[in-house]
Structure 1
Amino acid sequence: MASVSLDDKLVVAISSRALFDFEEENRVFESGDAAGYMQLQLQRLDRPASPGIAFSLIRKLLAFNDTTSQRVEVVVLSRNDPVSGMRVFRSAKANNIHLQRGVFTQGRSPFGYLRPLRAHLFLSANADDVRQALAAGFPAARVLTESVLASANYPNEVRIAFDGDAVLFSDEAEQVFQARGLEAFQEHESSKATQPLPGGPFKPLLTALHRLQQAANPQMRVRTALVTARSAPAHERAIRTLMDWKINVDEAMFLGGLPKGEFLREFEPDFFFDDQTRHVTHAAMHVPSGHVSAGIANSVV
C-alpha cells in the first residue's frame, strides 16, 4: 500500500458531540453510567444522529474535496468507546459526510493525537481537552452545544468569524487593557499601529483557510470575518497585522464593545470563535459558537 500523508491538507479534528447532537446520550454518560451509555449507543446504531453545532462547518469544508483533489481531512477525535464510534461513522454516512478516520479513546483525553494529525483545528465539547490542545499549540475551541444551528442561506460558502485579540492575534494588547483600562489600550495600540501583532492561537487556521481559498474551487469558497471589540484608533494595528501576514479577511467589524451576537446573525457564519465567555455566550444565541480558552481573559486567578 502506498504511503498516505495529511501534509498538504487542512486537517480538522472533531469530537462526536461537536459534529452530532448526542446531548441525550451524553446525559446518560455524565450520570456516571458508562455501560448504560454504550448500551444506548448500540441500541441506536441504526438511528442516525441529528446534526450538531459544527455540522454545517464540517459539511462545507469537505465540499472542497472532489475527485481530482482532497484538500480537507476531517478526523473524529473522541472520548467515546469504539462501539459508539460505529454509530458516529454510520451517522456520518447517513448525513452524506465522508469520514474515513477516527480515534476513540474510551474516556481518556484524546488531545495528544492532534500532534500526529498535525491538526489545524480541534473542536470539542470538553473544556479540559480544549485547554490542553491550546496549551500544546493547536487551534482549539469548546463548542457551545446550546448554540443555534447554522443558517442554510449560503450553501456554497464556508463562513467563519473570528475575534481578534487572544484568537487571531496574541493577547498582548488585551493584557494592557486588563491592567490599565481602555484609554491606555487605545494609546498603546495607536503608538504601535505600524508594528504587527504577534500571531494568536488561531493564526494557523486562518493561514490554512487562506491556502484553501487560493486553491480555486468553482463550487465552494471561503468567507471570513474579523469581529472585534476594538474601535478606532485601535483598528489600524489589527488591519496592518493582517496585511503583514498577507492574509485578507472579507469583512471586518470594529464594534467598540457593542454586543457581537446581532452583527454575527447578519453575517451568518458556520462558526464563530471568541476568547471571552460573555461574548461567546451571547453569540451562541444567534450563531454556532466556540470558546477559545486562551489569553489573559481565561487565566486562572
Structure 2
Amino acid sequence: MIETVENADVQQVSSENALVIAVSHSAVFGAEGEVQEAGVAFPLVQAIQRVNERLLQLDSSGSESLQFEVVLICTNGAQRDQVQTRTRDHGLQIHRFSFSGEDDFIDSLLKNRVHLFLTTDSNAASQAANKGVFSALLDPLSACGPSEQLRVMFCGDAMLDPSSEVKTGSHQASQVFWSHLGKIRQKFGAVDSPLSLVLLSSQRDINSCCRALQSLRTLGVNVDEAYCLGGSPRKPMMSLLRPHFLLGAPEE
C-alpha cells in the first residue's frame, strides 16, 4: 500500500513545472536505530531549500513555479508520525511524504512522478534505474556539501558511455532532469548563485571533456566549472569540490 501525504507546514509547488527529487528517509535522517539525527542527504535538502527561497525572491509575485519539490520516501509506515515530527523539528521543507512497503517503493516513485531518486542503498538505486527512474547513489562525501549552495556534479565519462544508462536510469529520464536543472540554473547570474553545476571527466583525452560539455549545452545546461583530470582518480577532486551528488557515474 502506498500513501502520499502533503506537508501542511510547507507551501506546495506547482507539480507541472517542479523538478521532483525523491530522497530516501535513511539518507536524510540516518539508518533506523542510529543515534545520529542527520544523514548524508541532510545538507542536500537544506541546500535545495536555499535555491527555492532565492527563486521566490526573484519573482516579485512570489509564485515562481520552477522550483525543486522534495519527496521523502519511507518504507516503514510505522514511522509516519516520527518522520513528520523530525522534519518539522529540523525545519526541513519536505513537500510530500510517501509511505510504502519495501516491495512497492518503486511504484511510490512512479506515482509521485519523480525526476531523480537519491539514496544510500545501491540495491534500491539499481531497482529504480531498471524501472526507468533516474537515480543517483549518495556516499559519505555528500554529507560534506555546504547547506547554503546546492552543488551538482556531472560525470563526463559516464555521459559518453552508452552502457552506463543501465546503471543510471533511462536516457530520456536523465535528459529531462538535466534540461530542467539547466533552466533553474539560468535563473541566476554567474556570481552568488545558490546552484552550482560542475562537470568532471577522468578521461586522458581532453576532447572527451569537450564532447561532454557539448552534450550538456544541447540540453540547455551551462556548467559553472569543468575539470578534465587526464586519467587521474576523481575522488580527491570530489573531496575538494564537495558536491551533494554525482550524476551519471559508473560504479567503481
TM interval, shorter chain, is 0.7 to 0.9
Q: Any unmatched runs of 5+ in structure 1?
A: 26-46, 176-197, 279-301
TM-score by length of 2: 0.76
Q: Give the Cα separation in 1 of the matches to 2:164 and 2:92.
A: 39
Q: Give the Cα separation in 2 of the matches to 1:243 and 1:148.
A: 26
Q: Give the Cα separation in 2 of the matches to 1:4 and 1:148.
A: 25
Partner of 1:254: 228
Partner of 1:74: 70
Does the Cα contact within 8 Å between 2:157 and 2:202 map onto a contact in 1? no
- Of 133, 158, 164 in structure 1, the residue corresponding to residue 128 of structure 2 is 133
The residue identity in structure 1 corresponding to 2:75 is R
Partner of 1:172: 162
Q: Give the Cα separation in 2 of the matches to 1:125 and 1:265.
A: 18
TM-score by length of 1: 0.65
The residue identity in structure 2 corresponding to 1:64 is V
Partner of 2:113: 118
The residue identity in structure 2 corresponding to 1:162 is F
Give the greater-gyration-radius structure (CA): 1
Report the Cα offset of residue 111 of structure 1: 1.4
Q: Give the Cα separation in 2 of the matches to 1:105 and 1:174.
A: 29
The residue identity in structure 1 corresponding to 2:30 is D
For the residue of structure 2 that corresponds to 1:249, the secondary structure is coil
Give % identity. Answer: 25
- C-alpha RMSD over aligned residues: 3.1
Q: Does 1:20 align with 2:29?
A: yes
In structure 2, the CA distance between the partners of 1:255 and 1:9, relative to structure 1 (3 Å rule), is: same
Which structure would you say has the larger RCO, counting Cα contacts within 8 Å and 6 or more residues apart?
Answer: 2
In structure 2, the CA distance between the partners of 1:246 and 1:229, relative to structure 1 (3 Å rule), is: same
Partner of 1:62: 49
Does the Cα contact within 8 Å between 2:21 and 2:117 map onto a contact in 1? yes
Q: Give the Cα separation in 2 of the matches to 1:6 and 1:150.
A: 30
Q: Give the Cα separation in 1 of the matches to 2:164 and 2:133.
A: 20
In structure 2, the CA distance between the partners of 1:200 and 1:253, relative to structure 1 (3 Å rule), is: farther
Q: Give the Cα separation in 2 of the matches to 1:109 and 1:116.
A: 11
Q: Give the Cα separation in 2 of the matches to 1:148 and 1:132.
A: 21
Does the Cα contact within 8 Å between 1:171 and 1:200 map onto a contact in 2? no
